[in-house]
């Protein structure tokens, strides 16, 4: 059907408006970021999984039902992986590890291995790339040296071990996704030069300078040496955390909750990109076209009508 008159004039600005709205949706419509929390727990078991007190502690909701990833240290006194495999099977979780340390995950483990660290390259830490609902994540189950011989205040030794972890993360086996978050969870043995030195250790300061943030929650994790255990993350936002109880080990377990980082809001004026300029120009053109047609229609409707002329006669005064 062909439109005439006022209907035809209204159709053009109407179409311009619809097209402008469609362009606006294409330019600015983006899916929302799903902020899925990642709940992590860590525990140095000291004597392995066979103790009834340890089993009772592992049944704590923050280490089981309310936990997504569990990092364990000193998992077996008999140098075997069977207890961890049994625990993972009971939960229906994935796992990786060695006879000393392990990582258990309710989500699939895509890649896994062992990072060989230390001056003498004698310590092996399990690592895993886990596919979480929010995307891939790299985690290490950390257990650093407590002492060299009989002397426990080996800050430089632990600093070197942390440097080896970073080398493995960035050079030897980097994550497939360069932007994947990284979690270091475990027993850092951060005694410091004085008891209670904790986070002032050189190695932990190095991690802080590389963007790692400690989960919230205060309290000693060891009965004698204070805070030895940490959950640190880079590329995630710490939301909550805390320290559990002593239950069959000389270490308390700890837990943390992380979320996707919030987008940064700059106080400076945001520079308009070339793409934004193109979309803005297109919208302006269609808006201007619509206004022109609307204005023309208004003028047309307000114009006085001409008197009807009788065919065959001349206007008054015409010669």
Instruction: With CA atoms as reference, report the closest residue to 187 among 245, 130, 253.
Output: 253
Top-confidence range, 103-107, 175-179, 266-270 = 103-107
Q: Indicate if the pLDDT at residue 213 is higher than 50.
A: yes
Going by C-alpha positions, the residue among 100, 113, 70 that lies closest to residue 88 is 70
Q: Which residues of 298-315 are buried (b: 16+ CB within 10 A; e: fewer)?
A: eeeeeeeeeeeeeeeeee
- The counts of H helices and E strands in the chain are 6, 12
Per-residue pLDDT of 263-278, as tens digits, reads 655 444 334 344 444 4
Q: Is the pLDDT of residue 7 over 90?
A: no
pLDDT at 318 over 50: no
Whether residue 183 lies inside any domain: the answer is: yes
Question: Do 20 and 65 have their domain in common?
Answer: no
What's 192's domain CATH number? Answer: 3.60.10.10
Q: Which of 211, 231, 259 is the last residue of a domain?
A: 259
Q: What is the pLDDT of residue 314?
A: 40
Band (pLDDT 50/70/90 cuts) for residue 36 is: confident
Domain assignment present for residue 304? The answer is no
Best-predicted range by mean pLDDT (45-59, 195-209, 265-279, 303-317): 45-59
* pLDDT on residue 215: 93
As given in the structure block, the two tokens for residue 9 are: 């004039």
Measured distance CA(108)–CA(94) in Å, rounded: 6
**What is the pLDDT confidence band of residue 81, given thresholds at 50, 70 and 90?**
low
Integer Cα distance of 83 and 138 in angstroms: 24
* Predicted local distance difference test score (pLDDT) of residue 34: 39
Domain count of the fold of the chain? 2
Q: How far apart are CA 231 and CA 318, in angstroms?
A: 100
Q: Are residues 152 and 15 in the same domain?
A: no
Q: 21 and 152 share a domain?
A: no
**Which is higher by pLDDT, 189 or 311?**
189
How confident is the model over 243-256, as a mean pLDDT?
95
Alpha helical stretches, state H, the chain: 5-28, 52-58, 82-91, 155-167, 202-209, 274-302
| Mean pLDDT of all residues in 29-35 | 40
How far is it, in rounded angstroms, from Cα 224 to Cα 98?
A: 27
Question: Residue 11 pLDDT > 70, yes or no?
Answer: no
C-alpha 61/C-alpha 75 separation (Å) is 19
150 and 176 share one domain: yes
Per-residue CA distances from 76 to 80, 89, 158, 163 (Å): 6, 17, 23, 27
Residue 285 belongs to what domain range? Answer: 5-30+274-296
Rounded CA-CA distance 174/280 in Å is 41
Q: Could you tell me if residue 316 is inside a domain?
A: no
Mean pLDDT for the stretch of residues 78-104: 88
Q: What angle do CA 274, 276, 282 make, to 5 degrees?
A: 105
> Is residue 201 domain-shared with residue 62, that is, in the same domain?
yes
* Calpha distance 94→100 (Å, rounded): 17
Do residues 19 and 144 share a domain?
no
pLDDT-derived band at 209, boundaries 50, 70, 90: very high
pLDDT value for 164: 96
The structure tokens listed for 126 are: 């399990």
Q: How are beta strands 229-234 and 213-214 bridged, if at all?
A: antiparallel
Q: Within a domain: residue 206?
A: yes
Q: Quick one: tokens of 152? A: 């426990």
Does residue 141 carry a pLDDT above 50?
A: yes
Would you put residue 266 in left (φ > 0), alpha (ψ -120 to 50) or beta? Answer: beta
Domain co-membership, 210 together with 107:
yes
> Are 115 and 222 members of one domain?
yes
Per mean pLDDT, which range of 11-20, 26-35, 81-90, 160-169 is the poorest?
26-35
Asked if pLDDT for residue 210 goes beyond 60, the answer is: yes
**SS3 per residue for 92-146:** CCEEEECCCEEEEECCCEEEEEEEEECCCCCEEEEEEEEEECCEEEEEEEEECCC
User: Which one, of 252, 188, 295, lies nearest residue 43 by Cα?
Assistant: 252
pLDDT at 48: 87
User: Rounded CA gap, 252 and 254, in Å?
Assistant: 7
81, 190: one domain: yes
Boundary-marking domain end, from 206, 234, 259: 259
Q: Provide the whole-model pTM.
A: 0.72
- pLDDT for 268 equals 42
Helix 202-209 / helix 155-167 crossing angle, nearest 10 deg: 30
pLDDT at 261: 87
Provide the sign of the torsion angle of the four alpha carbons 206, 200, 249, 215, taken in this order. Answer: negative
Does one domain contain both 118 and 145?
yes
Residue range 114-128: mean pLDDT, rounded: 90
Going by C-alpha positions, the residue among 158, 302, 81 that lies closest to residue 166 is 158
pLDDT of residue 316: 32
Examine residue 48 and state whether it is found in any structural domain, yes or no.
Answer: yes
- Which has the higher per-residue pLDDT, 159 or 47? 159
Averaged pLDDT score across all residues of the chain: 78
Q: Can you tell me the distance from the alpha carbon of 64 to that of 41, in angstroms, rounded to the nearest whole number?
A: 9
């Amino acid at each position: 059907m062909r439109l005439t008159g006022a209907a035809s004039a209204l159709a053009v600005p109407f179409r311009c408006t619809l097209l402008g709205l469609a362009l606006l949706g294409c330019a600015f419509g983006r899916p929302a970021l799903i902020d899925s929390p990642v709940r992590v727990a860590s525990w140095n078991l000291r004597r392995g999984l066979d103790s009834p007190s340890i089993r009772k502690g592992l049944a704590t909701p923050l280490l089981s039902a309310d936990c997504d990833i569990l990092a364990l240290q000193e998992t077996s006194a008999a140098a075997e992986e069977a207890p961890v495999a049994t625990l993972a099977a009971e939960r229906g979780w994935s796992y990786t590890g060695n006879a000393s340390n392990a990582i258990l995950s309710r989500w699939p483990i895509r890649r896994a291995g062992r990072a060989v660290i230390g001056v003498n390259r004698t310590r092996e830490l399990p690592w895993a790339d886990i596919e979480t609902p929010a995307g891939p994540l790299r985690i290490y189950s950390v257990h650093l040296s407590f002492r060299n011989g009989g002397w426990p205040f080996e800050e430089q030794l632990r600093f070197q071990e942390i440097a080896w972890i970073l080398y493995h993360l960035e050079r030897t086996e980097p994550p497939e996704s360069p932007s994947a978050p990284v979690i270091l969870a475990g027993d850092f043995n951060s005694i410091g030069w004085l008891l209670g030195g904790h986070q002032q250790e050189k190695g932990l300061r190095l991690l802080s300078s590389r963007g790692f943030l400690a989960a919230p929650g205060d309290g000693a994790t060891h009965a004698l040496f204070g805070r030895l255990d940490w959950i640190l993350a880079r590329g995630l936002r710490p939301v909550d955390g805390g320290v559990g109880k002593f239950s069959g080990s000389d270490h308390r377990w700890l837990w943390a909750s992380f979320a996707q980082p919030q987008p940064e809001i700059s106080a400076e004026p945001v520079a308009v990109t070339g793409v934004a300029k193109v979309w803005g120009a297109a919208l302006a053109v269609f808006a201007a076209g619509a206004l022109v047609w609307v204005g023309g229609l208004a003028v047309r409707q307000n114009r006085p009508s001409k008197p009807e002329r009788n065919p065959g006669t001349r206007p008054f005064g015409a010669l």
